[in-house]
Amino acid sequence: MDCRCNKNENRDVRGTVREEYGKIARQGGSCCRPSSCHGSPSADSVAATVGYSDEELAGLPDGANMGLSCGNPTALAQLRPGETVLDLGAGGGLDVFIAAKRVGSSGRVIGVDMTPDMVDKARRNAESFRESTGLDNVEFRLGEIEHLPVADASVDVVISNCVINLSPDKAQVWREIARVLKPGGRVSVSDLALLRPLPDAVRESVQALVGCIAGAVLVDETREMVRAAGLAEAVFKAKADYLDQMTEWSDPLYRDIAGKLPPGTKPSDYVTSVNITARKPAAQGSERGNEFDRERRPEHER
């Protein structure tokens, strides 16, 4: 599900994602199913597993954390007071509100999401956030991450959490990231990526797509997209802990995926959570080689 898909396929993918995430926004819960689904981990459990601290989660508006994370991009971004931050696929606003506290009243955080129900939910959460913190530095915009409703070279930092894998045109997303970043600006993304191609049965599953699995592409493909977009100093750090934890929780989605895999394999043999950081060069010609670190990466691939 990359940029080689035709326009009809792209519309089908976007329509499916918009419909399913609209249900999540209305009902609450994670990418697998509503939170009442037996066996689904709580949103707080997911957040703790992927690296959020109790301090970061404390005092957030109800429903801002929907259990949709696969990492903590705000921690990676090392945000500073006064910066302008853009969150791609903001959902209920979890990372927007955490970022807003870090950039302070002199900074600004913009969340973009293509699902109207999510944007409505996030805007309601923003009212609660303003009342509880006194900060009026967040806004949420309806739009696709392939066509961001944001001006050229207008943001210091782009963050995204388990969203780019859902796009049918990931290369265009990375080009948009480069477009909106100021020279010297940086990107911090937590996402899912493939270690090897998925079996057809998983790749064709709607549940796997909405759960951020079927839309993922190989790590090397993502690395090439980042490079082609003109971003430099790219570092990829990947861990399988997230997938293994979901399996241990007997999460319904991951049980379904595991049932479609060849005998003797598990989701983390195919999919990994990956943290990606990169920078838009302040001047042309400053790009360095990419790096990729993985705790269990075979010796001959290091």
Write down the pLDDT at residue 40.
Answer: 52
Asked if the 7-301 domain carries CATH number 2.40.30.10, the reply is no
Q: Which residues pair with 189 in a beta bridge?
A: 160, 276
- 228 residue type, one letter: A
Contact 18, 115 (CB under 8 A): yes
Q: In angstroms, rounded to a whole number, what is the distance separating the alpha carbons of residues 114 and 88?
A: 10
Write down the pLDDT at residue 221.
Answer: 94
- 93 residue type, one letter: G
55: three-class secondary structure by DSSP:
helix
Q: In angstroms, rounded to a whole number, what is the distance separating the alpha carbons of residues 253 and 261?
A: 13
261: Cβ contacts below 8 Å, ≥ 6 apart: 199, 202, 267, 269, 270
Domain boundaries, the chain: 7-301
Q: In angstroms, rounded to a whole number, what is the distance separating the alpha carbons of residues 105 and 272?
A: 36
- Bridging pattern class, strands 84-88 and 108-113: parallel
158: Cβ contacts below 8 Å, ≥ 6 apart: 85, 86, 87, 88, 177, 180, 181, 185, 186, 187, 188, 189
Q: In angstroms, rounded to a whole number, what is the distance separating the alpha carbons of residues 134 and 104?
A: 10
Edge to edge, the sheet with strand 291-294 lists: 138-142, 108-113, 84-88, 155-161, 181-194, 271-279, 232-239, 291-294
251: three-class secondary structure by DSSP:
coil
Contact 290, 223 (CB under 8 A): yes
Write down the pLDDT at residue 286.
Answer: 42
Q: In angstroms, rounded to a whole number, what is the distance separating the alpha carbons of residues 223 and 289?
A: 10
Write down the pLDDT at residue 137.
Answer: 98
Q: In angstroms, rounded to a whole number, what is the distance separating the alpha carbons of residues 146 and 172?
A: 6
- Each of the 302 residues of the chain gets a pLDDT tens digit; together they read 333 334 444 556 555 556 555 556 566 554 444 333 444 567 777 787 777 888 998 888 888 887 777 888 998 899 999 999 999 999 999 999 999 999 999 999 999 999 899 999 999 999 999 999 999 999 999 999 999 999 999 999 999 998 998 898 999 999 999 999 999 999 999 998 888 887 777 776 655 555 556 678 889 999 999 999 999 999 999 876 667 776 665 566 667 777 778 888 887 888 888 999 999 999 654 444 344 343 333 333 33
Angle at 126 between CA 123 and CA 131, to 5 degrees: 140
Q: In angstroms, rounded to a whole number, what is the distance separating the alpha carbons of residues 156 and 163?
A: 20
Q: How many CB atoms lie within 10 A of CB 34?
A: 13
Q: In angstroms, rounded to a whole number, what is the distance separating the alpha carbons of residues 13 and 215?
A: 9
Contact 163, 135 (CB under 8 A): no
Q: Write down the number of H helices and E strands in the chain.
A: 12, 8
Q: How many CB atoms lie within 10 A of CB 37?
A: 14
- Report how far apart, in Å, the C-alpha atoms of 291 and of each of 150, 189, 275 are: 29, 15, 12
